[in-house]
Every structure is written in structure tokens, then in C-alpha cells.
Amino acid sequence: MGYSKFNYENYLDQNKLREAHRFQPLFEAIENAFNSIEERILEEPSLNDGRIEIQIQRVKQRTFAEILKTSLQPPEVIGFSVIDNGVGFRPSNWSAYQEVYTSYKKAKGGKGVGRLSYLQAFDHADVRSVYLSEGKCYCRTFKIVRSHDGTARETNKEVEKQEQLTILNLHSFNLRLRRKAPKALDAIARQIAEHFFKRLSVGSQISIHLKDDWDGRAIDLRKFCNEEMVIDKAEASLEIGTHVFRVTHTKCRTRVSDKHQVHLCANNRVVTSHALNTFHLPAKGALACGEDKYFYVAFVEGDILDSEATQDRLGFTLPHEEEGDREGELKLGDDALPSIEKIVTAVGGAAKEFLPVFGNVGRASRPLLAHLPVRQRNVSGLLGRQRRGSASLRSMRTVR
């Protein structure tokens, strides 16, 4: 007998979301919007106005005292709306939506479970999708609810021709998750831009804006990523054993980053973030580039990261080193899966090669080695010679 049913309510009960991952459901909604527009562009190559709009929903101000209290800071976030002009929930997409672990978007790294996360952070959601099918225009609506089936009140009817548009409303942000969630528009923009850095830092036919009716402001997230977030960046390849990684080294402004770190990505999205050891860089605090202050931030991609990402995109199935091995030399068989620690350490070593491109940091880092414990100096020396070792830098392209 095959498995033909799925209990969504039980899934939610058994899969709680950590506070650190509070925006993961929003990220899934944004990724689905990107995918829908990309699907439409494949069918309509001339489409050059793909667009995503993210609207922030906030607690309504009811009394004068509440208005005074929030005059200097925005009210709490209680939900989001994600709007896109992609293909919408036409029959093929609706069929895939109803199938848990669908392979519909497998080629793009889709796990078939992203939309299941919506109610891990929100009480309920609703969807209105206008789409084209066989030359006719339809409107499909449905609700996403905490029940065995997960959906309710689905309707689908033919309507007069109008713009293809899908609106997903995520309602009633979980109180536990929203309690310490960022409230300011810029802070929310930073989280989205960081998660989708690999998408937003390159040109595209898809525009994406974050809007806040509380103060009437809107942020162009592509512009924010390229002008407000990053001072400079350089791209390179990094080999560890037989595995090739693509690394984007960046200088990230201090107003959008507060530490040196390495982001490991899968399918253009950040999955895990890791702090760099102090011996990789000349200082634990911010570095200087002219009048600007910045932190070193790396974004790492690779086929092995794409294939080893967990289904919830919150981790990898890659091995972790034992505590006692973390400061030892890189010992890796050609076909072995690299550990998370080895990848981060190798990227840290590569940062020391690239920081001179950004400024004079490289020269400043050399005296620092004299103050390091012997074992750390040995690791640093090994990494500094990566061009001759199994972890090697092959190419670099500086992007201004």
C-alpha cells in the first residue's frame, strides 16, 4: 500500500521553528515568487518587467498612548504580503502545490516542502492568483490553514482578462517569534538582502521592493544590496579535494553587518552562517577602507552544497569535525566530503589572499601571526600556501 496522505497539522506540531529562523517562511515565499516569474520568463523571453513586492503588515495603533510609544520606532510586525507577476497557480502549478515533496522544481534545487513552513511562523495565510490557461484568464483563491489537509475554501473561476498577479498574505506572526524580530524597515531589508545576496547582487529582469505603509517608505532590494550593503566584492574559485566552490569575497558596511563571517549557500540562498576565527583577519572588529568601515563577509556556493542542503534549508548533511581536530591540518581524501569546518577554514585562508586586493589589510595581517599559538600559525601557513595544496585558489575577478 502506497503513501497517499499527509497530515499537515501533525507536521507543524513536530517541526517547530527556532527564533533565529523566524524569517525562513518569508524567504520561502520570496523564493517561490522568483521561481514563478522565472518560469514565465522561460515562456515569454521578452518579458522584462518581472516584479516582486513585499509589504510589511504591522500592529494597528489604536490609542494616543500607543501612537506616542511608537513615534520613534515602528510597531511590531505581524505579517507580510508577497506579490509577484509570475505564472500563478495554473493547473500544473496547483497540482505540484498539492503534492508534498513534489519534484516540480527539483532542477532549481526545490525540495517540494518550502510552503509547508508558512504556518511554522504564521497563524494562517491566504492566496489570490490570477493566471492564464489555454488563452483564458482565471482567478484561483484558497486559504492555508492549520488542519489535516492544510488548505481550505479553494475556488477557481474564469474572469475577465487582467494582469497575471499572485498575492500571498501571511497573517498573525507567531508571538514567540516576533517578540525579538527586527521592526525597522532597513533591518528587515538587511535580512532579506543577506539571504538572497547571490540573487540580488547580479543583474536580472526581476525587480524586488520592500514596502512599509507605516511610514510610506520603500526599498529597492537590488539597489540596497549593491550600493548600501557592499563596498566592494571579488569572486574566485576554491578547490578542496575534488570539490570546487565559488566564493564571493565582500566588504560589507558596518551598518548592515556586525561581524566577519562566512555564509554557506545552496541554490542561490544562504543556508548557514559561520563566524571566522580571529587568526584569519587582522582584527576582530571592523576594518577600514578609506573613510568606510566594513566587515569581511564571504558567500560560498558549490554543487556539493546544493546537493547536501537539508530539506528545510537550515543546514547541511556534511560532516562536522571532532572538537580535537579543528585546529589540525587539513586532511582530506580526494573523494571525501569536506566538513563544514574545513570549508570555512579554507575560505578564511582565501580571505587573507584577497584582502590585499581590497586594501592594505594583507600587510597588516602578517605581524599578527607572531602572536598566534603555534598550532594556529601552522594552520595559517598551510592555508596561505593553498595554491600549492589541495585547497587552491584558481581564479579571481574583481567586480566594482
Backbone angles phi, psi at 294, to 5 degrees: -150, 165
| pLDDT at residue number 1 | 44
pLDDT for residue 98 is more than 90: no
If residue 345 lies in a helix (H) or strand (E), which one and from where to where? Answer: helix 340-358
- Asked if pLDDT for residue 393 goes beyond 50, the answer is no
Q: Is the predicted pLDDT of residue 213 greater than 70, yes or no? A: yes
Sorted by sequence, the CB contacts under 8 Å of residue 164 that are 6+ apart come out as 40, 85, 86, 87, 88, 130, 131, 132
Mean pLDDT of 81-109: 79
Question: In one letter, which amino acid is 182?
Answer: P
Look at residues 183, 211, 246 and tell me which one is the last residue of a structural domain.
183
Model pLDDT for residues 50-92, shown as the tens digit of each residue: 999 999 999 987 665 666 655 667 899 999 999 999 999 999 9
In which domain, by residue range, is 154 found? 8-183
Q: How confident is the model at residue 2 (pLDDT cuts 50, 70, 90)?
A: low
Domain count, the chain: 2
* Same-domain pairing of 262 and 146: no
CATH number, domain with residue 125? 3.30.565
Strands across the sheet with 217-220, in order?
A: 151-158, 136-144, 122-133, 165-173, 77-84, 50-58, 206-212, 217-220
Cα–Cα distance between 365 and 355 in angstroms, integer?
9
Looking at per-residue confidence, does 356 or 330 come out higher?
356
pLDDT digits (tens, 9 = 90+) for 143-199: 999 988 888 999 999 999 999 999 999 999 999 999 899 999 999 999 999 999 989
Q: How far apart are CA 174 and CA 163, in angstroms?
A: 33
Same domain, 237 and 135: no
Residue with the bigger pLDDT between 97 and 76: it is: 76
314 vs 23: CA distance, rounded Å: 12
Asked, for residue 336, whether it belongs to a domain, the answer is yes
Select from 183, 216, 251 the last residue of a domain: 183
Q: Give the pLDDT confidence score for residue 71 in this predicted structure.
A: 62
pLDDT at 372 over 50: no
Grid coordinates in use for 68?
A: 506616542
- pLDDT value at residue 326: 44
* Domain shared by 274 and 370, yes or no: yes
Give the per-residue pLDDT at 113: 60
Q: What is the mean pLDDT of residues 225-252?
A: 92
Q: Write the DSSP assignment of 169-191 as a string of letters.
A: EEEEE-HHHHTTS--SHHHHHHH
Among 183, 206, 241, give the residue marking a domain's end: 183
Q: Are residues 279 and 357 in the same domain?
A: yes
